[in-house]
Chain A
Amino acid sequence: MALKYLASISHYVPELLLCLTMAALILVESTYDNNVKGRSKGLLFSTAFLGLIASFTYLVKGLGAAPVKIFTGSVIIDSFSTFAKGIMLLGTGAAIYLANQSKDLYEETKAEFVILAIGVLIGGMLLASANNMLLLYIGIETLSILSYVLASLRRNDERSSEAGLKYSLYGGVTAGIMLFGMSHMFGVLGTINFSEIIPAMSNLTTEQALILMPSFVLFFAGIGYKIACVPFHMWSPDVYEGSPLPVTNFFSIVPKIAGIVAVVRVTNVFFAGDASIVRESWVVLLMIIAAITMTVGNVSAIGQRSVKRMLAFSSISHAGVMLLGVLCIDELGTRAILFYAVTYLFMTLVAFYITSFVQDQYGNDHFERFSGLIKKHPLMAILMTTVMFSLAGLPPLAGFVAKFNILAAIISKKYYVLAVITALNSVVSLYYYMKVVRLMVLKDSESEETISGFTVPNQIVITVFALPVFLLGIFWEKILMLAGGALILVK
């Protein structure tokens, strides 16, 4: 038994490395003295990046390996989760870099941000790998509790505290609902292990199915709230708005992707079988949720004055698009989600990075602050334009290919109406993304003042993040193959 656990650990190295990094960071942070802040800060960030890089290397090595169940079958390591973890890891690394540069975070809380972000990442990775309901719950809670702290990181700022409070209240309630749903499901199926649920699902009696469906909806509330899909999205604009910008950037990537990955796994566990009535009703429900999520996210984004808030709403609609891939419950859909997640990661990063530096310069991130950016920082303005067009889904950029993949997945299932709704949503989204472009390119700037955040290294980092947005629009065969190879394990 002990030996088995030891063998399990060898598959769990990336997460353990991150735990070690976190511990090391706490040690470094305790030496974080005002006098030696500069040196200490450098040490802190290099430790963090070292840990992340080591973990990432292990993940990449594990990609494509045969799936294994470890820790007595409660955690599953397959290419699907590894791929998703890689995306989350990159997102965390980028968010940490931004936190280092940003002025929106107090200097003395930067260390806390780094530690907490890595904690959230560990929770997200657990969520991606969980093969039983309880671990899934623990994953979500790890993710959530640390997120509450992150949201209120600007202690003296009322709105930040409000964000944290709102987040935790909402999170607490949904966690309770989720647990309640899970207990019912355990009652019906007699197991919490996903591997045992799959066979159990295929021979349900009608009564069991009748109880299972509502309890699954309760269960879904917990995950739905993490990805901020309608009707569990109310918290997100305020939290995104109130949190410091690097935190918002982080929230719109890691917890969201972790949540989507969890939905994919759970949906595949419960509905991939041939239990057709439950499956059909779940697909219909998910269709409605996805369609409304996209629409609400997009329509709300139109009226925003702050770019950060606009991006927050648009990230809701992107979550809706990714849900479309979930409801296909097939390889095409899953592959599309993974591809979407990759492109979404890079697009969001570039958008948030640029917004962050603009905000640092002017004190707010209203649309008008972007005007005339092309004259002052042509490269940045061009990249931001590209990313905005890509987010709206214009070819030949990565966002278009991602949307095309999702559309292909749902049309292959003949959900034409849904496809048209998705398509029309793209048009709506183009409208508000174009608002940024219009100001940057067509308007004259308010002042001659250049933005000090766009230093050469920062510009290089942004350019590196923007490159995939161009390249994945044209050369997407390889990454699609990689995502296709990382299809979900259902056993």
Chain B
Amino acid sequence: MSGHSNLLSWILWMPIVGVLGVLLIPRTKETLIRFWSLINTVITLALSVVLYMKFDPTTPGMQAAFTIKKAWISQFNIFYHLAVDGISLPMILLTSLLFFICILSSWTVKKQVKGYFALFLFLQSSVFGVFLSMDFFLFYVYWEVMLIPMFFLIGIWGGENREYAAVKFFLYTFFGSILMLVGMVALYFVTGQGVDSFNILALSGGKFASTTVTMFGMALPFAKVFFVALFIGFAIKVPVFPFHTWLPHAHVQAPTAISVILAGVLLKMGTYGFLRIAFPIFPGASVYFADAIAWLGLVNIIYGAFCAMAQTDVKKLVAYSSVSHMGFVMLGLAAMTVQGVNGAVLQMFNHGTSTAMMFLLIGILYERSHHRWIVRPDGTKGFGGLYTQLPKYSIIFIIAMFASMGLPGLSGFISEALIFLGIYNRFTTITVIAVLGLLLGAAYLLWMFKRMFFGEVIEENKSYTDVNSREIFYMLPLCVAVILFGVYPAPLLNIMKASVGKLVSLLAQF
């Protein structure tokens, strides 16, 4: 309870300090811009680690020592309210780690360096804002603000078809969040426009079980209607099955670092939204819709896996594998049991690290090959025999691939096992089919690996150089995370346990 209560503000605003710094540095001093951004993310990472050290894992819910609450707009009772609990802390750690790594991986960006790093750090701040805000209005502002840097990062630094991808991403997510806005304002008025009407924590607890809302002349249950509104908003972000179509485009066109952030952090904002907002505020409706969520999660797993299998572009393959893996998170959420939700939060973190590795590795390869075809459209092989050509690269790739596949001993296994443990009693059929999804995951990844890394070395692959020390340097922390949390997930599970337990016991009342 001592004087570190401004820590969250520091974490939130540190990247903005970075942005201002980047803007002040002249455009031609590109190396200086890169180093400045790197130092900035290192500081943020250090601050997050401090947060982790000071965090008290035994307290469920928000930690009073870190909470910041100041009035912003008094007429609407909007507050600048930041807090952290065991669910958001892993996300904070993941965000600061991945942004640090992505700055290193963006070292090779040549086009408009200043704008790139400024937008990138701006994006980091808005992501922190989403994970830290406990005021619904503030949360919404950050949720939306994030779209602006993302739009430009994909649209300017992306691949050939970048404009289409950027516009689709922007419109799609904007559509989802605007429904959330309506839900948010409706909550504000239903709770009587009081001091706590935008307070996510005070809204939670299932207060709207008996409230009704009149639409088209019918009295509908308030909680269910607005749960659906929030659900669509978050589901687009995750992305849950029918809303996933923006994702492959955005991923394929985005530059490497942005793909990493997109898959590693931004998708988690969707599931985080369920954990922080949709479930606690409408527990009754969440339980009511749990079956639907579980089935959608299952569709995600199977459909994503089959789509991934059909891809010839390796980045698109990994993008679809994200759809599949986020399906597991949805399953864990739908379980609403201690193991299931713990598994889901852990999977959010673990998928963040393993997918980030995959995308980074593909980016490294792309810098050498300038294409990503496993099989070119004309039927010839794009890659072959990389294993003999790039041994170090291949070892890192194998670690990433097995982590993503969920091989025991690596991080993906623990979280998926927890999810299955959590859902088995409630959704036995779904569990059985979902296990099949694991098999499919192994199939498409190994098949891809076989086609790219084994066999004859094709002519053009012979000129590729192996990973350099910078690349090894930034892959290393992820390798460590993937192996460490595969063997010993306790550090993460410990911090989330109390908060997840609180949420699950709330849901259990309905």
* A associates with B: yes
Which residues of A does B touch, CB under 8 Å?
Answer: 389, 394-396, 400, 404, 407-408, 411-412, 414, 416-417, 419-420, 423-424, 426-427, 430-431, 434, 438, 441-442, 476-477, 480-481, 484
Q: A interface, by DSSP: helix, strand, loop or mixed? A: helix
A438–B163 Cα distance when bound, in Å, is 8
Given A408-B188, A411-B189, A419-B185, decide whether A394 and B147 contact each other with a Cβ distance below 8 A. yes
Return the chain A residue nearest B188 by Cβ.
Answer: A408
- A-B residue pairs in contact (CB < 8 Å), sample of 13: A394-B144, A395-B141, A404-B185, A419-B182, A423-B179, A423-B181, A426-B174, A426-B178, A431-B171, A434-B171, A442-B156, A477-B72, A477-B75
Give Cα A68 to B24, complex, Å. Answer: 53
**B-chain residues with CB within 8 Å of residue A408 when the two chains form the complex:** 76, 185, 188-189
Chain A residues contacting B1 (CB-CB under 8 Å) are: none
Contact for B170 among A400, A404, A414, A430, CB less than 8 A: A430
Q: Give Cα A442 to B112, complex, Å.
A: 12
Distance between B254 CB and nearest chain A CB, rounded to angstroms? 14
Shortest 7 CB-CB contacts between residues of A and residues of B: A423-B178, A395-B141, A411-B185, A427-B175, A442-B155, A395-B144, A419-B182
> Quick one: which of B73, B163, B175 contacts A476, CB cutoff 8 A?
B73
Residues on A with C-beta less than 8 A from B193 are 412
B140 contacts across to A, CB distance below 8 A: 395
> How distant is B142 from chain A, measured CB to nearest CB, in Å?
8
Decide yes or no whether B162 CB sits under 8 A from chain A. yes
Q: Is B68 an interface residue (CB 8 A)?
A: no
Closest chain B residue to A407, Cβ basis: B185
Q: Say which residue of B73, B148, B155 sits within 8 Å of A389 (CB atoms).
A: B148
Q: Does B31 contact A (CB under 8 A)?
A: no
Does B93 reach chain A (CB closer than 8 Å)?
no
Chain A residue nearest in CB terms to B142: A395
User: Quick check: B145 and A396 within 8 Å, CB to CB?
Assistant: yes
**What is the CA–CA distance of A434 and B167 in the complex, to the nearest angstrom?**
8
Contact B174 A427 (CB under 8 A): yes
> Given A420-B179, A423-B182, A442-B162 in contact, is the A396-B141 Cβ separation under 8 Å?
yes
Q: B interface, by DSSP: helix, strand, loop or mixed?
A: helix
Q: Does B53 contact A (CB under 8 A)?
A: no
- Please name all residues of chain A whose beta carbon is closer than 8 Å to the beta carbon of B181 when the two chains form the complex: 404, 407, 423
Contact at B171–A417, with CB atoms within 8 Å?
no
How many angstroms between the C-alpha atoms of A394 and B178 in the bound complex? Answer: 10
Contact A427:B178 (CB < 8 A) given known A395-B141, A438-B167, A477-B75: yes
Stretch in B210-218, B327-335, B474-482 with 4+ CB within 8 Å of A: B210-218
Contact A395–B189 (Cβ < 8 Å): no
Chain B residues whose CB sits within 8 angstroms of the CB of A411 once the complex forms: 182, 185-186, 188-189
Question: Which chain A positions have C-beta within 8 A of B175?
Answer: 424, 427
Which A residues lie within 8 Å of B449 (CB)?
Answer: none
Q: Which residues of A contact B186 (CB under 8 A)?
A: 411, 416, 419
B141–A481 contact, CB under 8 A? no
Q: Does B453 contact A (CB under 8 A)?
A: no
Other A-B pairs, 9, CB within 8 Å; known A412-B189, A480-B73? A407-B185, A416-B213, A419-B185, A420-B179, A423-B182, A424-B178, A434-B171, A442-B163, A477-B74
Min C-beta distance of B76 to chain A, whole Å: 7
